[in-house]
Structure 1
Amino acid sequence: MKKYIITGVSLCLLILITNARSFAQIKTMASGIKMITVGAPDKYTPYGFCEEAPMKTAIGALPQAKLPFNINDIKININNRGVIVEVPLGQDEQLYGFGLQMGSFNQRGLKIQPIVNDNPLNDRGYTHAPETFYVSNKGYGILINTARYTTFYCGNTAKLMDNARSNSTKADGNSVAELYKTSNKSSGEVTVDIPGAKGIDVFVFEGPSLMNVLQRYNLFSGGGALPALWGLGVKYRVKADFNQGQVDKMADYFRRNHIPCDVLGLEPKWQTAAYSCSYVWNKDYFPTPNRFIDSMKKKGFHINLWEHAFVSPQSPLYEPLKNKSGNYLVWNGLVPDFADAATRNIFGNYHRKTFVENGISGFKMDECDNSNLAFGSNSWSFPELSEFPSGIDGEKMHQMFGILYQEAIYNIYKKANLRTFMDVRSSGSFASSFPVALYSDTYDHDQYIKMILNTGFSGLIWSPEVRESNSITDFMRRCQTAALSAQMVFNSWYLQNPPWLQINKEKNNENQLMDNAKEIEGDVRQLLAFRMSLVPYLYNAFADYHFKGIPPFRALVVDYPEDKNTYNLSNEYMIGKSILAAPLTEKDKERSVYLPAGIWYDYNTNQKYQGGKTYTISPTLTQLPLFIKEGTILPLAKPVEYIMPNTQFELTCYVYGSKAAAANLFEDDGVTFNYKEGHYNTVTLTWNKNKGTVTRKGQFKAERYIIKKWVVIQ
């Protein structure tokens, strides 16, 4: 029986906990995944809303699990305050995760509060995607299954009894500098404070490696997301007040100038009311919406609609949801009780009949985070004291609102056997299976790069979208980062013209284009062409995410957890299994790049580099800062301007080094969930004795990939 430390409680509470102890248990949820339960956990928890079944066969195929400590050393204490969890922490452990963190990377030594917030600056833990889940480079992960506002002390506390038995103590300081030093980073535990809770579930994800931990977490969440194939192309969001004719002109601009684009996003004015939302086409702007959608399809465009979930009195959804919403309004609109399945179904069914059945390919789900907690003047969202018919309170609803909103919309597409790739401003734990990219109204390029890495620790997808910029250099470096991310998006919701024609907002909206606009357009076209050439490789990386749980974008520490040089490396990352990306920002004419063990090739020059060292690179604005691992077969496609269900990719296979490991491509229809029934192919590329071979295995009848050429790079 699991033992729990109980201190400082009243007799009444002690009796309650003693009774709970007899029901406390450690339950095996899947191979290498255990759940510790003590007391009476909350009714509404992140795992309670996870609709996808764990992929237990894939989890069972992972290496035998192992913890670096005894699971019985995890202490859970219930007292008058709530629940306190203490997890052992080794002296040399490094910690990562807690959702989409901005301002921090290695969490060791920090006090983190993963709370949803619309402006998540600094290293406090405020975020668009609060997850009470962290991982260690020693090969395990801990998830506290709660929607309460929770605090993690990541090895930065020192107890009196710990200090008394310490063999080595530092001399007390008496200077201001000493006063503000963080000197408790060697604490032997992570302490988790969950105020108000009367019990808790603690999930333990065992390794043995950090990669295996992330695989178990993603597979346990239902497998990683596999977006529609067209979603890996380019998305462009038009100006908020564009009408049907203006959107049509923008579509013609892309096709006429042979600029790749798969998705056009419509911003608020497509609706009759936006704050709060009516979810009704504005006929003054879009007089024939269904005809418009059909015409865009014929040109190869998918349409994505902006909205948020606060329901206007003008909406047909208002009356059906009036008694299924919280007791506070936002922008005079209802806050639907998404904790209730019936409410999600009402909201989802309206969207299905009104939009999805008429050809809308996805939604941008905005404003589902919380007001900026850093400012008292920023209080647009519903208060934490809100009450909902389901019984959930405002605090828990805030933490879960984004992911429940996603469920309401994504379920439409699943039931229609139609895949998508959408946008959202808040997510959370167990979200791995959602093909939905997070975005932010913040615009710090350094943080945007760091957030690509942080999503890999948390089963999330991040979109470092491009808007206007300070300079051409700033704009092009941002385009490079976007091209090397999960979703490439240009967000021009306040720009009359594409930002590459005029980076200055005011001049852009006055139609004053730059003198060198066509030159910059050509440079952007070159970057977008590379993005389209990478789609088959990215698609296979997402297939590995779904079937194996391997994050398609991840920090180097995931692949090299024993390499101390990777512990705090927050501006380089792996794409798939073979590409290392090292983006630059406007301030970087050059940058240093650390390459882990092995031989690496500069993608632009084919120069070879010995791993385990740091180098300086200075790629141009049209050169992608990439390194390819020796032994890689890299399939790159002849760029297409958009992706259709019958699109075939003509591939050139680049072989790096004299010997190369086999590479795979995932081949299916790209638009349905039929792959779950086995209707896909694994296309295997091999290079042996100076000859390339291609083999197909699977039930998909068509051929999406045609190998045109092999190129060896020594």
Structure 2
Amino acid sequence: MKFRDGMWMTAEGFNVEYAEETYEITQTEKGLSLLCPTRKIFTRGNTLNTSTVTIDIEAAAEGIISVETTHWAGAQNRGPHFELFPDGKPAVEAKISSDEAAGTTTLSAGSLSAVVTNPGEQHAFDIRFRGAASSSSSGARESESDGTRHLTALLGRSVGLAYSPAWSNAMQTGDMRDFSHYMFTQTQLSVGETVHGLGERFGAFNKVGQSVTLWNADGGTSSEQAYKNVSFWLSSRGYGVFIDHPGRVELEVGSERCTRVQTSVEGQRLKWFLIDGPTPRDVLARYAMLTGRPGTLPAWSFGLWLSTSFTTSYDEETVRGFLEGMRARGTQVDVFHYDCFWMKGFRWTDFVFDAERFPDPKAQIARLKASGLVSKVCVWINPYIAQHGAAFREAAAKGYLLRRKNGDVWQWDLWQAGMALVDLTNPAAVAWYKACLATLLDVGVDALKTDFGERIPTRDVAWFDTSVDPERMHNYYAFLYNKVVYEALQARHGNNEAVLFARAACAGTQRFPLVWGGDCESTPEAMAESVRGGLGLGLCGFSFWSNDIGGFEGSPQPWIYKRWVAFGLLCSHSRLHGSSSYRVPWTIDADDPSDQGCSAVLARWTAVKTRLMPYLFAQAAVAVQGGLPLSLRAMCIEFPDDPTSWYLDRQFMVGDSLLAAPVFEESGEVQFYLPQGSWTSLFTGQVRQGPGWFTETHGFDSMPLYVREGTILLLGKKGVKGIVYDYEADVEVCVFQGKPGGWSSSSAAAVVDKSGKKLGTITVGEDGELQGTDVLRGAWSRSAVDALRL
């Protein structure tokens, strides 16, 4: 939302008032409170007929400071509110100091400080934020003369309030029913600074120059809309900003004033947290502490998931035929997913299997698992309840559905006829919904795909919890929905065995993994969109992410399908899923039997991921602990001092040590960038020296997959089928330009078992010999890099 018409004029239809000076500073228990009038105060008379903005700056945790701006403090602060510090708020000391010579007052929260210009004759408004000194030589994060790093600032006319429509007489604001009221702040952008994150966004990776609206929507992957709007962004200068507002947030990222990021919300308050680095890893670790660390996922979820697809026709015979066909062509499926039509049409979601196609679902699922064709089963659900199912009648009668203000159940015909929405602010409705989910778990369901949850109404609605604001519930509903389903799965399967496959999300939803990228087209451009979406979401604390291999809409050409298979099997989680066409490989290319056919390529890349599991599962634990993406991990997380890394949106890291560059051209040509150091191709053993750009051409059975210098990579036994096996047994230990000793991630390998328990760490000693191998079992071996083949 733009409040200005260029540099000099206010946008048509708005009154805009800015905090013009810091008139008074009051020390509080947690920090500083600034009284900032919207005109400069030269005489006592200037204090009359003048609005003020109160700015409360507080130490929230070590390296985290909150900034809250308020116009009218008497306005209700309605919920819902993000669950902050869910694992407990750490103690922090708010240190306040004054520098009379400089005319400033400073609040410090560990490494982070806010420096405020004192009231005085200059009538100044100036708040500067400084972070911990960095050892980096990067010009993007140069140190100040006092050893701190300049992060950002709130300078003149950067904090304020706005009315729409514009009023001509202040008396009109006595009745605010005819006005919208906004609060905004503008943080300074430095020269060359880039901005990333804000959820799973499919446009340009660097958000500078973009107008971004944080409002969950079912918009596919080819628009400015997003399923997962997360009010957090990461700066290349080594800090992050979390906006503590679950409703609509409008951002102008260098798009109204080129040197500022403007954040605006409707209401009387705007609060955000500034999070210090200096590295992206540091920022994400603190952000995870603030909004919650990702949940831990079981090993089986990392395997290949096969879906029935959306509108296709299927029954038990179809399902078994798919799985037998996959096995016959060399691919083991770990999870089978039943999409929408496991239920009858016009009855989604009533939790009842279509009796005509699935007369005995419990027995069918048991037969599938007993056959070894699949180990786990997932089914599709959503929080919408169509009126033609028995679930609707019960929920409506008992008051479990969202209502209109006149008491009617809120309904519409978009998606399902007469569908309603489960009111998750009603504890009784939550208990009922969990009981419905339990009926699915009773028949052998292991995971739940929590689809939809974006189209949450805000007008003419009355939530059971009258304290919540419908506008703030729109995005936040995704958090409640996924939390309820996750808790139901935890209650049945255990805390670390719950698995979602969710589409909608907001800040904090990373606690309930996992998510996938929504409805993409079957084109190389859509695959690139998916990469950008995964990269952005990974910079918002989400460790686990997937997408629809081959694309959701349309029917992929064989070459696109095969290139997407390679990309999809290097994501943390991998699923074959489509809309109106199947994604089993033999339907894509008329069952081409060659080693470059779809079936062979799928078997190849499934085997690659299976063999990588000793590495991937160990890295998953590191990702969860640090709030990091396992894959897709943006290059800037691992190489923040390389300026190029902040612009790379067609490649990613898989954990700490593997670099992957998907192929988007039918010819197999791909251009990619290697940061400084030695990099070894996992497939050929070829060593390249970075930094630099490289161009290669690949068949469908390979792609640029390079191993970082100093890596000790554990690979599972060749030929193993199924993603779950003993990750400490019969492994290959591969050393890539190994560095003697050391316990850094690049020269040590954690060994975990299939439950995720850490058994030990393998390093390379001064004599070049492996140390810590006593935790390995079976016929493990050390491989020479130049002989490595998968």
Report TM bin, short chain: 0.7 to 0.9
CA–CA distance in 1 between the matches of 2:727 and 2:49? 66
Aligned to 1:205: 275
Aligned to 2:540: 458
Q: CA deviation at 1:516?
A: 5.6
CA–CA distance in 1 between the matches of 2:644 and 2:375? 44
Aligned to 1:366: 451
- Is 2:557 the counterpart of 1:471? yes
CA–CA distance in 1 between the matches of 2:48 and 2:58? 24
Q: Contact 2:610–2:720 at 8 Å: present in 1 too?
A: yes
Q: CA deviation at 1:613?
A: 1.0
Aligned to 2:486: 410
Aligned to 1:594: 673
Q: Which segment is superposed worse, 79-88 or 199-208? A: 79-88
CA–CA distance in 2 between the matches of 1:365 and 1:589? 36
Aligned to 2:694: 615
Within a 5 Å distance, the mapping from 1:412-561 to structure 2 comes to 412-416=488-492, 417-418=494-495, 419-443=497-521, 444-460=526-542, 461-467=544-550, 469-492=555-578, 494-495=580-581, 498-503=583-588, 513=591, 519-553=597-631, 554-561=633-640
CA–CA distance in 2 between the matches of 1:644 and 1:667? 12
Taking a change above 3 Å as real, the CA distance of residues 70 and 494 of structure 1, as seen in their structure-2 partners, is closer
Taking a change above 3 Å as real, the CA distance of residues 271 and 450 of structure 1, as seen in their structure-2 partners, is same
* Highest RCO, 1 vs 2 (Cα 8 Å, sep ≥ 6): 1
1:491-548 per-position Cα deviation (integer Å, ceiling 9, x unaligned):
145345x5321227xxxxxxx6557699431222111100111122111221012223
Aligned to 1:113: 213
Q: Contact 2:87–2:292 at 8 Å: present in 1 too?
A: yes
Q: Which segment is superposed worse, 107-116 or 253-262? A: 253-262
Taking a change above 3 Å as real, the CA distance of residues 518 and 281 of structure 1, as seen in their structure-2 partners, is farther
Taking a change above 3 Å as real, the CA distance of residues 14 and 525 of structure 1, as seen in their structure-2 partners, is farther
Q: Contact 1:64–1:208 at 8 Å: present in 2 too?
A: no
Secondary structure of the corresponding residue to residue 262 of structure 2: strand
Q: Contact 2:610–2:723 at 8 Å: present in 1 too?
A: no
Q: CA deviation at 1:644?
A: 4.8
Q: CA deviation at 1:389?
A: 2.5
What is the letter of the counterpart of residue 413 of structure 1?
L
Taking a change above 3 Å as real, the CA distance of residues 232 and 121 of structure 1, as seen in their structure-2 partners, is closer
- Is 2:232 the counterpart of 1:133? yes
Aligned to 2:401: 325
- Is 2:767 the counterpart of 1:685? no
What is the letter of the counterpart of residue 194 of structure 2?
Q
Aligned to 1:148: 247
Q: Contact 1:272–1:279 at 8 Å: present in 2 too?
A: no
What is the letter of the counterpart of residue 3 of structure 1?
L
Aligned to 1:338: 424
Q: Contact 2:714–2:749 at 8 Å: present in 1 too?
A: no
Secondary structure of the corresponding residue to residue 680 of structure 2: strand
Q: CA deviation at 1:127?
A: 0.5
- Is 2:270 the counterpart of 1:235? no
What is the letter of the counterpart of residue 84 of structure 1?
F
Q: Contact 1:133–1:142 at 8 Å: present in 2 too?
A: yes
Aligned to 2:440: 355
Taking a change above 3 Å as real, the CA distance of residues 150 and 8 of structure 1, as seen in their structure-2 partners, is farther
CA–CA distance in 2 between the matches of 1:228 and 1:274? 34
Q: Contact 2:183–2:265 at 8 Å: present in 1 too?
A: yes
Q: Contact 2:738–2:747 at 8 Å: present in 1 too?
A: no
Q: Show structure 1 runs of 5+ residues with no match.
A: 159-184, 371-380, 505-511, 697-702
Taking a change above 3 Å as real, the CA distance of residues 216 and 41 of structure 1, as seen in their structure-2 partners, is farther
What is the letter of the counterpart of residue 378 of structure 2?
N
- Aligned mate of 2:87, from 53, 60, 72: 53
Q: Contact 1:317–1:347 at 8 Å: present in 2 too?
A: no
Taking a change above 3 Å as real, the CA distance of residues 213 and 559 of structure 1, as seen in their structure-2 partners, is same
- Aligned mate of 1:640, from 720, 723, 735: 720
Secondary structure of the corresponding residue to residue 599 of structure 1: strand
Secondary structure of the corresponding residue to residue 647 of structure 2: coil
Secondary structure of the corresponding residue to residue 628 of structure 1: strand
CA–CA distance in 2 between the matches of 1:604 and 1:430? 38
TM-score, normalization by structure 2: 0.75
- Aligned mate of 2:359, from 262, 279, 287: 287
Taking a change above 3 Å as real, the CA distance of residues 257 and 616 of structure 1, as seen in their structure-2 partners, is closer
Aligned to 1:569: 648
- Is 2:185 the counterpart of 1:85? yes
Equivalent residue pairs, number: 642
Taking a change above 3 Å as real, the CA distance of residues 122 and 230 of structure 1, as seen in their structure-2 partners, is closer
Within a 5 Å distance, the mapping from 1:245-260 to structure 2 comes to 245-260=317-332
Give RMSD over aligned pairs: 3.3
Q: Contact 2:592–2:599 at 8 Å: present in 1 too?
A: no
Aligned to 1:43: 78
Q: CA deviation at 1:246?
A: 2.4
What is the letter of the counterpart of residue 430 of structure 2?
R
Aligned to 1:176: none
Q: Contact 1:631–1:659 at 8 Å: present in 2 too?
A: yes
Aligned to 1:657: 737
Q: Contact 2:713–2:733 at 8 Å: present in 1 too?
A: yes
- Is 2:334 the counterpart of 1:267? no
- Aligned mate of 2:709, from 606, 622, 630: 630
- Is 2:265 the counterpart of 1:194? yes
- Is 2:407 the counterpart of 1:307? no
Taking a change above 3 Å as real, the CA distance of residues 560 and 384 of structure 1, as seen in their structure-2 partners, is farther
CA–CA distance in 1 between the matches of 2:346 and 2:85? 30
Secondary structure of the corresponding residue to residue 611 of structure 1: strand
TM-score, normalization by structure 1: 0.82
Q: Contact 1:262–1:643 at 8 Å: present in 2 too?
A: yes
Secondary structure of the corresponding residue to residue 597 of structure 1: strand
Secondary structure of the corresponding residue to residue 292 of structure 1: helix
What is the letter of the counterpart of residue 545 of structure 1?
A
1:102-132 per-position Cα deviation (integer Å, ceiling 9, x unaligned):
11210112211122121255674x2010112
Secondary structure of the corresponding residue to residue 2 of structure 1: strand
Q: Show structure 2 runs of 5+ residues with no match.
A: 1-31, 92-108, 113-129, 132-148, 164-180, 405-409, 741-745
Taking a change above 3 Å as real, the CA distance of residues 592 and 515 of structure 1, as seen in their structure-2 partners, is closer
